[in-house]
Amino acid sequence: MSKVIIIGAGGVANVVAKKCAQNDSVFTEVLIATRTVAKADKIVAEIKEHMPHSKAVFTTATVDADNVPELVKLINDFGPKMVINVALPYQDLTIMDACLETGVHYLDTANYEPKDVAKFEYSWQWAYQDRFKEKGLMALLGCGFDPGATQAFTAHHAKHHFQEIHYLDIVDCNNGNHGKAFATNFNPEINIREITANGRYWDNGQWVETQPLEISQDIYYPKVATRKSFVLYHEELESLVKHFPTIKRARFWMTFGEAYIKHLNVLEGIGMTSIEPIDFRGMKVAPIEFLKAVLPAPESLAAGYSGQTCIGVQAKGIGKDGQPKVHFVYNVKDHADCYREVQAQGVSYTTGVPAMIGAMLMLQGEWMQPGVWNVEQLNPDPFFAAMNQWGLPISELADIELVKD
């Protein structure tokens, strides 16, 4: 049906590619392009080994995703219908520019942030709205799990359960064990920048800033565990409070173990999480980039990873019947199951599957509309059906308040 380019070859790209291979009636030709082509070649070799009956044709190429002319040449040479961007968030804008120049659709899993400033927001990408619309192209922003599925969960709440959502809590638990003293489950540079930044949440029309990991509570994650969870700022909060103006408070919670926090505090205390370049033997190196180089690659954690993830959205407000209501929508995924299916750990899997689904819904026309869009602006029903079909079954709990005020 369609040719696509996947830019990136890390843990999430591995999942996206293999789910495209499973869904070969939609994704007929796939080019995986990345700076280090050997990583893309490894993904293709594993597809041939583990999915020999897939009819999708995979090829690989080298590309510098910071270089617009190089991206334009890659896209023009291959002729895809769309680009699935699972590279670094720093590269979102250059890839969007290349898509505009070549006339192809765009999807990513994380919003843009500058490399030299630990700040991520949608304003840079929302500014592309008119340019994409005028060219009849679609850009879908943040179609992983969080952001992505969490926004579809919120849209589902609004469409099927609530007249008004007043309180929104997004919860993300990784109750897994990879056996390492310290490692991050996705790109270490992005992960650590996110966690060490000040927290923020929405409260009565304004952003409230907190110290990193200042606010916490024990939250029960159904079918998994009760875990201490911390308030972080996460990008989907920005779009959700914009598109659902009845929300009075919106928060994002994530679990971290004591050992993880202890290691992180030590690294931060000695300056290893800094994004400010230092002089080292005549070279400018940001300490966090060096740290990324010595930590295990997230995709290397997959073999032997045990435990589950649980990610969900709790909404409180006025139900469709006019009465107060609380409702929770969530997914639980087992790390070992992910490895058996696509040789990935659960965090990569839960990000990569929604990216494939978003691309599929665009290519099939279900979600296709010119302009720049966030997931919650689109119909959640086909997304829910596809999540259940493609490995991320959704569960719901009514009238049980898991996250307290």
DSSP one-letter string for 43-59? HHHHHHHH-TT---EEE
pLDDT by residue (tens digit) across 161-192?
999 999 999 999 999 999 888 888 777 777 88
The whole model's pTM is what? Answer: 0.95
CATH code at position 260: 3.30.360.10
Tell me, what's the pLDDT at 288?
85
Ordered alpha helix ranges (H), 335-377: 335-342, 346-363
Report, as ranges of residue numbers, the positions in the chain whose pLDDT lies below 70.
117-118
Look at residue 391 and tell me if it is in a domain.
Answer: no
Contacts of 244 (CB under 8 A, 6+ apart): 154, 158, 165, 168, 376
Look at residue 203 and tell me if it is in a domain.
Answer: yes
- Name the DSSP class of 297: P
Angle at 354 between CA 349 and CA 360, to 5 degrees: 125
pLDDT by residue (tens digit) across 88-132?
999 999 999 999 999 999 999 999 988 776 677 899 999 999 999
Tell me, what's the pLDDT at 118?
66
Torsion angle in degrees (nearest 10) through CA of 86, 87, 89, 90: -160
Contacts of 157 (CB under 8 A, 6+ apart): 165, 313, 315, 327, 329
Look at residue 158 and tell me if it is in a domain.
Answer: yes
Tell me, what's the pLDDT at 301?
85
Look at residue 120 and tell me if it is in a domain.
Answer: no
Tell me, what's the pLDDT at 264?
83
In this structure, what token pair is assigned to residue 34? 């990345």
Look at residue 280 and tell me if it is in a domain.
Answer: yes
Look at residue 331 and tell me if it is in a domain.
Answer: yes
Tell me, what's the pLDDT at 283?
86
φ, ψ dihedrals at 375, nearest 5°: -60, -40
Angle at 258 between CA 255 and CA 260, to 5 degrees: 75
Q: What's the domain range around 278? A: 149-340
The span from the CA of 89 to the CA of 72, in Å, is 18
The span from the CA of 347 to the CA of 188, in Å, is 13
For the chain, what is the domain count?
A: 1
Look at residue 73 and tell me if it is in a domain.
Answer: no
Asked if residues 146 and 160 have their Cβ atoms less than 8 Å apart, the reply is no
Radius of gyration, CA atoms only, the chain = 20
Look at residue 181 and tell me if it is in a domain.
Answer: yes
Tell me, what's the pLDDT at 262?
87
